[in-house]
Every structure is written in C-alpha cells, then in structure tokens.
Chains A and B, each alone.
Chain A
Amino acid sequence: METIIIILAGVLVSVATYLVLSKNLIRVILGTSIFSHAAHLLIMTMGGLKEGSSPLLGEEAATYTDALPQALILTAIVISFGVTSFFLVIAYRAYQETNTDNLDILRGIKDE
C-alpha cells in the first residue's frame, strides 16, 4: 500500500511541476495546490499507514497507529488552503490591473 501511495504522490508532483511551469497564472496556482496534496500524502505515508488500532487508551491493542502525521496534515491543509485562496485573490487583482493572466506579459511590465 505504501508503494502505491508513494507512486501516487510522485504522479501528483509531476503533474504539479508541469502546471507550475506553464505560462497561465491560474494553472500555476492550481499547480501549487496540487504540490501541497502530494506533500500531504507523503507525510502520511512517511508516518506509516494504518498499522494497529486507533491511538486511543480505550483500545487495548498491541500496536497503535501514529496519529501525529494526521495532525501535521490537518495543519498543512489549513495553511495551504489559506495561501491558495490569497494567491487567487492576488491573481484576480493582477488580472484587473493588467488585463492579462499570461506570465510572459506580466513579466514585461516595467518597474517604474
């Protein structure tokens, strides 16, 4: 199972890299969002997928699953949600100001 998830994370990273390298600003933002999904999957796999019972004292099992990665992912999801939404706002504002979402044209704007 771990192997499959790792491969999935790899596929997501390659998709995200492709998107981030494109010229369209919205695609770049989607790419960064997919990047973060890949990272979350990786964190989960690195902590070990379900190995024992849930980490509660009532469950009297021999082994427990590590709960920490899920806490980390939860935090990371919230952060990436905030960052992505702010990024979208900035992109929209830039579109309003410059009438383009093409990074080549944005790049050509002179620094006054």
Chain B
Amino acid sequence: MNNILVFPMVLPLITGVILIFLRPFIKLQRWVTFGVMAVNTGISLYILQKIQKDGILRLDFGGWEPPFGILFVGDSFSLLLVLTASIVTAIILLYAFHSLDAAREKMYFYPLVNFLVAGVIGSFLTGDLFNLFVFFEVMLLSSYALVSLGGSKMQLKHGIIYMTINVVSSWMFLIAIAYLYGTVGTLNLAHISQRIAESGQTPILTVISILFLIVFSLKAGLVLYQWLPGSYSAPPAVIGALFGALLTKVGIYALYRMFTLVFYHEPAITHTLIGIMAGVTLIGGSIGAIAYNDIRRVITYNVVIAVGFILVGLAVLTPAAVEGAVIYLVHDIIIKALLFLTGGTMIYLTGTARIENMSGLIRNYPMLGWIFFITMLSLAGVPPLSGFLGKVLVGQGAAETGSYLLLALAFLSSLAVLYSLLRIFLNAFWGETIISEEDEIPLKKGRLVPLVVFTLGTIALGLGVESIAVYASDAANVLLNPDIYIDAVMNDN
C-alpha cells in the first residue's frame, strides 16, 4: 500500500476545513497554508523519486481492488504537475500576504485556496473517471467563490458568466460519463482503456470521446475560451495568478490523460480534431493578445495561446512532442504565475491597467522592469530560459509528422506572444517617466520577493532542464504506452 499518495490531496483538504474555524487568526492561516504547500512539495518530490525506482504507484481506497474501487494512481506526469502546482501555490501565497486586502483575507481566502489546491491535485492523481468529476467540482466550487470574492460589480458579472459556463460543462461531463458507463460498463480509467482495446473504438465510442473533448476544452480554454479573459482578469492579481497557473492546466491534463490512455485508437478523427482546435486557439489567442491595450486582457490571452501550444503536442503525439509538452506545461505553470503577478504589480503601482497611461516605469522600478523583460523572453522561448526546450521539442514532433501548418502556427504564436508583451514593455517601461519621485508608490519587498523567486525559477528551470527532462521523458513514455499504466493498475503487485 502506498498511503503516501493520498497526502498531497488530503492535507490541503483537512487544513481548509480546520482554517474555516480559525477565521480571526489571519497570521496563523497564512503560515499554516504556506506550510501545507511546503510539506506538499516535499511529499510530492519524495513520491516522484519513488516512482522512478518502483514504477507507477497506486492506492486502492478501502482495499477495494480495481476495477471495483476508487483509486489514486501516481505516475511521473501526475506527480510532476502536483509538485509544480505545490511550489507555485506556495510562492503565490507569499505574494498574497503582502498584497491582498484584509477584507478578502478575512472572508476565507486561505481555506478557499486550500480547497482549490486539493481539487487540482486530486484531479491530477485520481484513476477513476467519476472521481475526476468530483475533484473538478471541488476545484470549480472554490474557484467560483474566489472569482467573486470581494463582490465588486465586475467580479460578480464575470463570476456569473464563469459559473454558468462551468455548470453547463459539468453537466456535459456527467452526460459523457453516463454514456461511457452505458457503453463499457466501468469508470476506472485503466479498465475503460482495456475494454475499449478489446472491443475496438466503435463509432459510438468516438462520439463519446468527442463529447469529452468538448467538456475538457471548455475547462482548459481550447477554442471555447471566450469566458476566460473576463473571469481571469476580474479578481485581484493573486487569484488571477492561481487560476492562470492551475485551472486551465487541469483541463489540459484531463485531455492528455483521456486521449492517450483511453481514446487513442482513432487518431485520424480525434487527434486531427484536437490539432484543428489547437490551431484555432493559437490564432484566436494571438489576435486577442495583440488587440487589447489592457494589461490584464493581454495576459489572459497569453494563457489561451499556451493552451493551444501545449495541445499541439497532443495532436501530433510523437515521443518528442509529448515530452516537450510536459516540459512546457511545467514551465507554463511557473511563468503564468509570474506574468499575472508582474502585471498585477504594475497595475497596483500605476493605478491603471491601460498601457497608454503608463510610461517610463523602468526609472521608478528598475527591478520590476528587468523581471518583466525576463518573463517576456521566457514566454517567447528565448534559449537560456525555461520556455525554450519545450517549444523546440514540440516543434520537432510537429516537423517529424509533417504537420507543418501546426508547426507554423505554433511558432507564429510565439511571435505574437513576444509582440504583445514587447508592446507592454515599450509603452510602460520605456519613454518619459511620468511618475515623480514624491508620487511614487514604494514597491515593498514583500511584493518583490515572490517575483524574484519566480524569475530565478524560470532561469533555473531553463539552465537545469536536464534535471526534469528525466521525469518528463518517463511521463511521455507512460502516456504513449498505455499498457504500462494499465498493467500497473489492473495487475496485482
């Protein structure tokens, strides 16, 4: 039994419940939440090492062996994401300590973050389709609360849009589960995969797979991303950073899991469709990122572009591309958090979100300017930084399979990313300094430290990418050979 596998999910869940009763003690809430994320980081690092040694781990709850019970399955892909999510949440919390207003902190911000993380990590670890639905709901419910926490008109408006979209897509998730259960008679992912491999992916299963594709596309922001820019830019920067770093990634993870483990028999239909959707997302995201003058909009459209880019890896499905996509996913969690926090800091310092009202910030805040510059280069995929290897590998995969259109779109979108952020950089940091020294809002250390940590993180991940490439190639290996996963889950060990 590998009981340790449940801890990354259960720790934040229990902490969240306990913290509800400790409402007046904000300081305690802060450090307990931070401590939980730090412990989670340690645990997931340990499990990740254990997986390299012992192979895929599984935990059957209540001793019910698969396919009868619910279970957690830990492979390199899941644990890599759990690890990154824990680290990034911890650092985002550091920023929250110094930037979030007291009213929001008092209104259960920390319990909600704990629940959000529990939902996200649970979704990464579960090996059961219905359990995945439940963890999605845990994550979504806390995100509904976080989107509208504070209750400004803009937040409520986008909260309502966000909730409606997600409630309808959760309903479609249930429908898809019902159809799949009616067809194959099981909900254990490995068992479903086994049964589909036996019976062949009949047309009805392909239709169900497309229903799942729509559901997860809504969650991930693939093509159906129209809700995303509004609801990610309405709440404060900290919450936006949590969403941008974690939420869409869960949808992407689910897409990767479903379309490599379960529905991989008809790539001509499903994976072609994913390729088309990824292409459209890249185009739409790029147009959005270039079109707006509002920093928050530009940033949120950058989230959309990344979703399209990562799914190019799933569409071409070669070892290089999947490995690249895994690395890029890890990079994207870090860099999106950094991007949201940097943007949030700029808005806080200037009191406006529009780039035409900012100018010459580099003189006032040189450090922030350089951090933004490095973020921009990392997002565009300039070599020493972390975005580079992922982009190269995904591009290599696309070239190997001859998907030149996707290849062109993927790299043109990098240019769009660079252009959209360069425009912010030129407008906001260069030019005449308009904030005089007396009016300057001091940039406190508490806000700057998390940004510096993330920046060092993206540089370190870029220089030391070899260290995670081992895990990423193992993750890609499991994703491309479903038998390894099925064997680990269905056979006694």
Q: What is the interface of chain A, defined by CB distance below 8 A to chain B?
A: 20, 25, 28, 32, 35-36, 39-40, 42-43, 45-47, 68-69, 72, 75-76, 79, 82-83, 86-87, 90-91, 93-94, 97-98, 103, 106-107, 109, 111-112
Given A42-B175, A79-B137, A106-B160, is A98 in contact with B153 using a C-beta cutoff of 8 Å?
A: yes
Are A98 and B179 touching (Cβ within 8 A)? no
Are A43 and B137 touching (Cβ within 8 A)? no
Q: Which residues of B contact A68 (CB under 8 A)?
A: 181, 187
Cβ-neighbour of B153 out of A75, A90, A91, A109 (below 8 A): A109
Min C-beta distance of A39 to chain B, whole Å: 4
Are A43 and B178 touching (Cβ within 8 A)? yes
Are A90 and B159 touching (Cβ within 8 A)? yes
Are B159 and A82 touching (Cβ within 8 A)? no
Q: Total number of A-B contacts with CB less than 8 angstroms? A: 96
List the A residue with the shortest CB-CB distance to B144.
Answer: A86
Q: B residues 98-156 with Cβ under 8 Å of A? A: 130, 133-134, 137, 140-141, 144-145, 148, 151-154, 156
Min C-beta distance of A45 to chain B, whole Å: 8
Given A20-B164, A69-B181, A75-B130, is A90 in contact with B175 using a C-beta cutoff of 8 Å?
A: no
| B305 interface residue (CB < 8 Å to A) | no
Given A75-B134, A90-B156, A93-B148, is A46 in contact with B171 using a C-beta cutoff of 8 Å?
A: no
Identify 29 residue pairs between A and B in the complex whose beta-carbon atoms are under 8 Å apart, listed by A's number: A20-B164, A20-B168, A35-B167, A35-B168, A35-B171, A36-B174, A39-B171, A39-B178, A42-B178, A46-B181, A72-B181, A79-B170, A82-B141, A83-B141, A86-B144, A87-B144, A87-B163, A90-B148, A90-B156, A90-B159, A93-B148, A94-B156, A97-B152, A98-B153, A106-B157, A107-B157, A109-B157, A111-B294, A112-B152
By CB atoms of chain A within 10 A, which of B152, B159, B160 has the most?
Answer: B160
By CB atoms of chain B within 10 A, which of A42, A90, A97 has the most?
Answer: A90
State the main secondary structure of chain A at its contact with B. Answer: helix
Q: Which residues of A contact B144 (CB under 8 A)?
A: 83, 86-87, 90
Q: Which residues of A contact B151 (CB under 8 A)?
A: 93, 97
Are B164 and A86 touching (Cβ within 8 A)? no
- Give complex CA distance A2, B160 in Å: 36
List the B residue with the shortest CB-CB distance to A34.
Answer: B171
Q: What is the interface of chain B, defined by CB distance below 8 A to chain A?
A: 130, 133-134, 137, 140-141, 144-145, 148, 151-154, 156-157, 159-160, 163-164, 167-168, 170-171, 174-175, 177-179, 181-182, 187, 230, 233-234, 294
List the A residue with the shortest CB-CB distance to B158.
Answer: A111
List the A residue with the shortest CB-CB distance to B180.
Answer: A46
- Give complex CA distance A112, B154 in Å: 7
Q: Which residues of A contact B164 (CB under 8 A)?
A: 20, 28, 32
List the A residue with the shortest CB-CB distance to B182.
Answer: A46
- List 3 A-B pairs, minimum CB-CB distance, nearest first: A46-B182, A39-B174, A94-B156
- Give complex CA distance A39, B137 in Å: 15
Are B145 and A86 touching (Cβ within 8 A)? yes
Min C-beta distance of B269 to chain A, whole Å: 23
List the A residue with the shortest CB-CB distance to B148.
Answer: A90
Q: Which residues of B contact A36 (CB under 8 A)?
A: 171, 174
Q: Which residues of B contact A75 (CB under 8 A)?
A: 130, 134
Are A47 and B182 touching (Cβ within 8 A)? yes
